[in-house]
Amino acid sequence: MVLVTTAYLEPEGEVDRLLREAGFRTVFARPVDRRAAERSMPTAVAHAKASGIVAGTDAFTAEALRASTGLRVVARCGAGYDNVDVAAATRHGIAVTHTPGANRQSVAEHVLGLMVSCARGIPQSVADVRAGGWSQPSGRELAGATLGVVGLGSIGRAVARLGTALGMRVVGHDPQLDAAFLKESGVVALPLHEVLAEADFVTLHLALDASTRHLIDGAALRRMRPGAYLINTARGGIVDEEALADALAGGLLAGAALDVTEREPLPPDSRLRAFGNVLVTGHIAGATVQARSRSSLLAARQVIDVLSGRPPAHLVNPDCAAARAEVR
């Protein structure tokens, strides 16, 4: 049996049909909010007795995985997997997979939308007109500006290509540089501190782990070019939001655009709510019909592969097989 916890997937949909055609029974369990999900997931997993899970952003903690007797695979719909305790999954012999690249175009387009919104003050103008005004402040063109891409993986490369197509100068930073991409794209590779100092727009495309948590802290924000914008569609924990609020209050940045925050939803008392030059969207960068279809079908296929004894396309923890043999 396969448990589906991804909020946007429905019974009788394409993922349900794919799994059932492969011979698996499906159960859909979708708590109404994240706090409820974290409390109820161990119970849901234990009750379902699932062999595989198609997972969204639910928290699969060590407790939830410990309750999962018989579980063999957690397949994340999305590139990130920081909501899954991978170490615990590996100890229990549970494969963890993800779907890198499936939402690449959607996220890149969202970044472009955020950049244009910042550069032209679109949300502010809409609010002004709605309130009866008709002010016409000067915006700025993206062409000729410098775009700094931090993280040149699948999504970062797509963003870089969009920037180049718009006539932006693109600089980037990644610990693992792809020489062929740099040559083909014309992106200039720089150390992180130089990207921050040179870019008019800094956009983040990194996984969240111990090395990237609060990578953009007070010191990093002070290195940014005066009048620059910070854009984050990756993971909220990469940015120290208190430091960001301090930088905005001090006028160090022209603004910020965030699709992800350290706590989601953004808390009512977040200091970021006080700034008119901060745009926050509700973790929707990858939320298009096309991206969700690609991601969920790829996740479901990887569940089928693992449960059928085949290697999945994007396995996060290859040591799980040895651990599973020991568990047995």
Residue with tokens 């990578």: 215
Q: In whole angstroms, what separates CA 60 from the centre of its chain?
A: 17
Q: In whole angstroms, what separates CA 170 from the centre of its chain?
A: 21
Report phi then psi at 131, rounded to 5.
-85, 5
- The one-character DSSP state at 273 is G
Q: In whole angstroms, what separates CA 243 from the centre of its chain?
A: 21
- The one-character DSSP state at 254 is S
Q: Which two tokens stand for residue 318?
A: 């290859």
Q: In whole angstroms, what separates CA 216 from the centre of its chain?
A: 16
Q: At what angle do helices 104-120 and 289-307 cross, to 10 degrees?
A: 150
Task: List, by residue number, the catalytic residues.
Answer: 235, 264, 283
SS3 251: coil
- The one-character DSSP state at 272 is G
CB-neighbour burial class of residue 44 (10 A; exposed 0-12, middle 13-18, buried 19+): buried
Q: Which two tokens stand for residue 233?
A: 């569609």
Q: Which two tokens stand for residue 25?
A: 């029974």
**H/E element, 201:** strand 201-204
Q: Helix H segments across the chain?
A: 14-21, 34-48, 62-66, 86-91, 104-120, 122-130, 154-165, 179-185, 192-198, 218-223, 241-249, 289-307, 320-327
Residue with tokens 């969204």: 56
